[in-house]
Amino acid sequence: MTLVLVFSGLLFAIGTYGVLTRRNAITLLISVEILMNAANLNFVAFSRLWEPELMTGQVFALVGISIAACEAAVGLALILAIFRRFGTTDVGRIDFLRG
């Protein structure tokens, strides 16, 4: 259990570092996916620890995976639209409020 939580914490730290330091929109999207995978890993680990007979953690992880897939599809569509409009995926250079 400890090894799984350390691995999940490491994944969460890597994802947080990626979200806070990167400026490319695709890298930000990948970092958010890593954060969601860390949360799904925690769902399964704690479900196996507290209620090994029930599959609640696995069900929540499957719901989280489906939400992550939808988020990735919408995020990539937005990134493509932004790239076509502004010619870059750098989130620091994109300013939506200017005409």
Q: How many domains does the chain have?
A: 1
pTM, full prediction: 0.84
Domain of 21, CATH number, reads 1.10.287.3510
Comparing 97 with 3, which gets the higher pLDDT? Answer: 3
Q: Is residue 95 part of a domain?
A: no
**Residue 40 identity:** N
Q: Is residue 19 part of a domain?
A: yes
**Dist. CA 22–CA 79, nearest whole Å:** 15
Question: 15: domain range?
Answer: 2-86
Residue pair 28/2 in contact (Cβ under 8 Å)? The answer is no
Q: Residue 27's pLDDT band (boundaries 50, 70, 90)? A: very high
- The 10s digit of each residue's pLDDT in 57-97 is 999 999 999 999 999 999 999 999 989 988 888 888 877 65
Whether the pLDDT of residue 29 is over 60: the answer is: yes
